[in-house]
Amino acid sequence: MTAILVPQKGATSMTIFVMVRVGSRYESRQINGASHFIEHLMFKGTKRRPNTQILTQTIDRYGAEYNAFTGKDLTAYYIKIAAEQTPLAIDILNDMLFHSLYDPKEIDRERGVIVEEINMYEDNPRMHLEDLLEGALFPRSTLGWNIAGPREVIRNVTRDQLIDYLDSYYVPSRITVVVAGKIMPGTEALLHKTFGKVTQHHKGKEDEFAPFCPPKTLGCPVALQNKKTEQVQLGIAFHGISISHEDAPVASLLADILGGSMSSRLFIEIRERRGLCYSIRASHESLQDTGVFSVTAGLDKKRFPEAVKAIMNEVRSMARKPVPLTEIRRAKDHVRGSIMLAFEDSATQASWYGRQWTFLKRLETPEEKLKRLEKVSAKDIQRVAKKIFDSKRMAAAVIGPFPNAEPIRRLLVK
């Protein structure tokens, strides 16, 4: 198990992040949702703290921030607390991950909680759009599966199935522990006494997930939820750049120019000039073997065709014409400023270094990343835009009062 210490000058708090290299893309149909289910169960009681109330009261009394999240290829747990409480934070996370009870009664109770979480996401169009969009973009891959899983699996998956999955992936070789902020004396020794004592009884699963093989053509599938709404939610996505690819910084800059700020192309053209939406953004997320470049917007349903055409025109223009140097300079400065502001937070620092080590086995500082970003040219941006914005590898999702997806698909591929 790797431990990373990230000292921060002037900090009075600390964040401990524990990252496990497992997520929904590792699952089978029979246990889809297991990674997320296990994350929930970690908060349900340990041998020394036998129920949720005891566990959470212990952390809450110090005003700590704590939570966990599950993604496609990562499950993470964190506590941010006053640095003087470092021993408690380390002990609690170690206790949760390696001494939880997984009480059958708690498992059955949590089934209902997770089903209600799924209901919450599906009832919120902005939240549900992402699931629909990924399902359309990755139709034959576990990357397109819902992280929370189908209700039927959550209601029926057994304790033995969950524990078997947990034992396979929650092993030292797949776990990274990061402590960032004010590093108290003795922190390293505490990590050795807790996380360092976890033994790997078996090899664990190192066979990983099935690699993503992009199809030659997607045919622009449109995942449509016909729903009576005042605002139409639109998502457009393309296969992007993997986390280790040299073009990853180019893709992030491309997303920033297109829709990463209030002065970005999409925001100015679609919202400010045309008044077609309230919110619109573009983003690029790099995964281990691919990426997701997406544009999402909440649009005026009466002017939906106009909005789709205008958005696609802005997307395609990135590949047609080189971006002016002044615009590239603004985007680079925006990314630089955003990173510097975020890095004042110890949780951001812990997450930054933890993700890098988990997926790349390297530790790059913000300054080193920004140096790579500075080298990105107008030719690079246009080249990557041509590569990503391929209409044969595009998918969309729409939530709104539409009975048929075909007219929407025709709008997108024109």
Burial class of residue 172 (count of CB atoms within 10 Å of its CB; 0-12, 13-18, 19+)? middle
pLDDT of 206 strictly over 70: no
Same fold, 2-197 and 222-413: yes
Given a cut of 90, whether residue 200 has pLDDT beyond it is no
**pLDDT tens per residue, range 181-199:** 999 999 999 999 999 999 8
209 confidence band (pLDDT: 50, 70, 90): confident
pLDDT band at 406 (very low <50, low <70, confident <90, very high): very high
The percent of residues above 90 in pLDDT, for the chain, comes to 95
252-284 burial, b if ≥16 CB within 10 A, otherwise e? bbbbbbbbbbeebbbbebbbeeeebbeebbbbb
Options 3.30.830.10, 2.60.120.10, 3.20.20.140, 3.30.565.10; which CATH number does 2-197 get? Answer: 3.30.830.10
Average pLDDT over residues 272-293: 97
- pLDDT range class, residue 411, cuts 50, 70, 90: very high
Average pLDDT over residues 210-238: 93
Residue 208 binned pLDDT confidence (cut-offs 50, 70, 90)? confident
What does the pLDDT read at residue 259?
Answer: 98
What angle (nearest 5°) sits at the alpha carbon of residue 284, between those of residues 387 and 370?
95
In whole angstroms, what is the distance from residue 19 CA to residue 143 CA? 19
At the fourth CATH level, the homologous superfamily of domain 222-413 is Metalloenzyme, LuxS/M16 peptidase-like (3.30.830.10)
CA atoms within 13 A on the CB side of 182: 13
Return the minimum-mean-pLDDT range out of 49-63, 193-207, 273-287, 290-304.
193-207
pLDDT tens string 102-127: 999 999 999 999 999 999 999 999 99
- pLDDT tens digits along 314-353: 999 999 999 999 999 999 999 999 999 999 999 999 999 9
The answer on pLDDT for 201 being more than 80 is no
- Give the C-alpha separation, 149 to 29, whole Å: 9
Say what the pLDDT of residue 213 is.
87
pLDDT at residue 203, rounded to an integer: 56
Q: In this model, does residue 205 exceed pLDDT 70?
A: no
pLDDT at residue 333, rounded to an integer: 98
d(C-alpha 97, C-alpha 169), whole Å: 12
Q: What is the mean pLDDT of residues 377-386?
A: 98
Lowest mean pLDDT among 175-184, 202-211, 333-342: 202-211
Q: Average per-residue pLDDT in the chain?
A: 96
pLDDT of the residue at 321 = 96
Domain locations along the chain: 2-197, 222-413
The answer to whether the beta carbons of residues 386 and 283 sit under 8 Å apart is no
Tokens matching residue 153: 């699996």
* Mean pLDDT in residue range 241-264: 97
